[in-house]
Amino acid sequence: MPEGAGTGVWAAFARDLRDGPAGLARASRRAFHLALLALAAPGLPLGALYLLSAPAPYPAAAAWGFAALGLGFGLVALRLARQAARDTRAPAQAPGRAALTAAMQAASAPAIPFLLGCAALHQPLAWGLCWAAAAALYLLARTQLPAYARAAGENRAP
């Protein structure tokens, strides 16, 4: 096996980071999905555990409030991810690092309403609304990943 070749996620990251703009976009997608998995995976078992405690129901307005809160915080997370991709204060930072930072920050956008929905598993309206917001933020973040990679590359070109 040649030096630098390998299998697994880390080898794929390394390969993609050396593969130009298209590779940087692939690495950003990988980082996004891994960060989303790390952030959201604990939500279901913790939500199920909370469900076993038989929590008291709350009004429908609170369910809409949870969804609005998750959507608002998710949009703020996407804005911060965009700023991380375009940040020129650290010119020595490699474009790959900036794009991966932005992708991992963008993963928190759908994770926030997803986790709120997990905390509301006892309330179908609440988890449905929160998970719908999470799905919308996931699609929005996923479509912005190539732009983050382009912005990171443009802002760090010598």
Could you tell me if residue 118 is inside a domain? Answer: yes
C-beta separation of 50 from 121 below 8 A:
yes
Q: What is the Cα gyration radius of the chain?
A: 18
Number of domains in the chain: 1
Which ranges of the chain does DSSP label H, i.e. alpha helix?
Answer: 9-17, 20-40, 43-52, 60-86, 95-119, 124-155
Mean pLDDT throughout 23-38? Answer: 89
Considering the chain, what percentage of its residues have pLDDT values greater than 90? 49
Residue 2: inside a domain, yes or no? no
Q: What is the DSSP letter of 121?
A: T
Answer whether residue 4 is part of any domain: no
Comparing C-alpha atoms, which of 61, 46, 63 is closest to residue 130?
63
Tell me the pTM: 0.85
Is 113 a domain residue?
yes
43 lies in some domain = yes
Q: Which domain holds residue 88?
A: 9-155
Considering all CA atoms of the chain, what is the largest pairwise distance in Å, rounded to the nearest integer? 61
Q: What is the dihedral sign for C-alpha 34, 35, 38, 44?
A: negative
| Domain assignment of residue 116, yes or no | yes
Report the chain's terminal Cα–Cα distance, integer Å: 33
pLDDT in tens, 60-119: 999 999 999 999 999 999 999 999 888 766 555 576 788 888 999 999 999 999 999 999
Decide which of 152 and 47 is more confident.
47
Q: Tell me what pLDDT residue 93 has.
A: 57
Across the chain, what does the average pLDDT equal? 85
Given a contact cutoff of 8 angstroms between Cβ atoms, the answer to whether 139 and 11 are in contact is no
Is residue 60 a part of any domain in this protein? yes
Instruction: Specify whether the CB–CB gap between 112 and 73 falls below 8 A.
Output: yes
How crowded is residue 125: how many other Cβ atoms within 10 Å of its Cβ? Answer: 17
CA distance 36 to 109: 9
